[in-house]
Amino acid sequence: MAETLLDIRGLKTWFKTEDGMVRAVDGVDLRIDRGETVGVVGESGCGKTVTARSVLKLIDMPPGRFEAGTILWQGRDLIPLDQDEMNQIRAREIAIIFQEPMTSLNPVYTVGDQIAEVIALHQKLSPKQAMAGAAEMLRLVNIPNPQKRVHDYPHQFSGGMRQRVMIAMALSCQPKLLIADEPTTALDVTIQAQILELMQEMKEKFGMAIMLITHAMGVVAETCQRVTVMYAGKVVEEAPVEALFGDPRHPYTQGLIRSIPRIDRAVSRQARLESIQGTVPSLLNPPPGCRFAARCRFATDVCTQAMPPLKEVAPGHRVACVL
């Protein structure tokens, strides 16, 4: 059993709005071991991003607040830490890359300055050494001609290149965990593959763990060892990747997998790609019971009574469903 890096238990991140409490994350358990890639999947609005930002405490408070739960980072709870203490952990231990590479870089500084800033912030280095480190990071993420490119501004890079720069920035202090919040969503397909490949390569080089947030099931199948499926602020299923695709237990997971276009099943005129009917329910004062019940074709009376807890159906495979 590998060492546990991150262990989120019963995390509830709620947002206070004028209409009431939005329970964006409502009792999430998530474990990430050293060196493994964990996928977090679900539709938009399932609380994936809020979970990720909660780990780094990037949630604005107010309106957000941690209602319950613990975020154990190598055994230490992050929730009571203040921003200064969090700054010791950010980048050095846990780093994050965002969805939007086009706007995640500051337009008024060269990319070298920005990477060097992160390095200088966390390591006692001279500006010259930090700049050399920045060029080295650019080389690692396969940006051609890094010695020259460090002096370029973000507008001189393409979207895929900027995401590479973001990865270089995030990895510049060799974090133990990289949170990738839909890192490829804004990029076109060929670039997506390159970025995922790069992340894989970096993972092997630095031995870090990755928390990959995405709604592309194909990406999950290709890169992750374990997968956590979230729905409406709750974890509905968690399993090793083979088990999840081979034997999905939760109707929501089944629906997600069925809605992947398959090349081996010819799309005839009649057979349309399957989808899950309906949308994610409002997280404002959700009803008791399983949150998926309204969209679930197996739903019974039991489902609307109480939310079924996660139970283990196979080693490492847990599912929150009465079925």
Task: By CB under 8 A, name the one of 18, 80, 82, 155 that touches another protein.
Answer: 155
29's CB contacts (< 8 A; 6+ apart) are 8, 9, 10, 11, 235, 238, 310
Q: Which stretch binds another protein (CB under 8 A): 34-42, 133-141, 144-152, 265-273?
A: 144-152
CB of residue 84 to another protein, shortest distance in Å: 7
Q: Nearer to another protein by C-beta: 111 or 319? A: 111
DSSP 231-291: ETTEEEEEEEHHHHHHS--SHHHHHHHHTS--TTS---SS-PPP---S-PPP-BSPPSS-T
Encoding tokens for residue 307? 């939310």
Q: Nearer to another protein by C-beta: 170 or 212? A: 170
3 state SS of 111:
helix
Residue 154 binds to another protein (criterion: CB under 8 A): yes
Over the window 170 to 189, marking each residue x when it contacts another protein by CB under 8 A and - when it does not, the resulting string is x-------------------
Q: Nearer to another protein by C-beta: 156 or 300? A: 156
Task: By CB under 8 A, name the one of 4, 29, 31, 153 that touches another protein.
Answer: 153
User: Under a CB-based contact definition with an 8 Å cutoff, are residues 236 and 230 in contact?
Assistant: yes
Task: By CB under 8 A, name the one of 33, 100, 136, 222 that touches another protein.
Answer: 100
Residue 105 binds to another protein (criterion: CB under 8 A): yes
Applying CB under 8 A, what is the total number of residues that bind another protein? Answer: 37
Task: By CB under 8 A, name the one of 74, 87, 123, 225 that touches another protein.
Answer: 87
Task: By CB under 8 A, name the one of 11, 50, 91, 296 that touches another protein.
Answer: 91
Residue 103 binds to another protein (criterion: CB under 8 A): yes
Angle, alpha carbons 137-138-144 (nearest 5°): 150
Task: By CB under 8 A, name the one of 1, 82, 108, 261 that touches another protein.
Answer: 108
CA atoms within 13 A on the CB side of 179: 24
| Rounded CA separation 296/321 (Å) | 11
CB of residue 154 to another protein, shortest distance in Å: 7
Residue 124 binds to another protein (criterion: CB under 8 A): no
| Rounded CA separation 287/278 (Å) | 16
Nearest one of 247, 215, 209 to 49, comparing CA atoms: 215
User: Under a CB-based contact definition with an 8 Å cutoff, are residues 212 and 40 in contact?
Assistant: yes
Q: Nearer to another protein by C-beta: 153 or 206? A: 153
Over the window 45 to 74, marking each residue x when it contacts another protein by CB under 8 A and - when it does not, the resulting string is -----------x-x----------------
249's CB contacts (< 8 A; 6+ apart) are 237, 239, 313, 317, 319, 321, 323
Measured N-to-C along each axis, helices 111-122 and 159-171 cross at an angle, to the nearest 10 degrees, of 10
Paired sense of beta strands 317-319 and 76-77, if any: unpaired
Residues that bind another protein (CB under 8 A): 56, 58, 83-84, 86-92, 95-96, 98, 100, 103-110, 117-118, 121-122, 148, 151-156, 166, 169-170
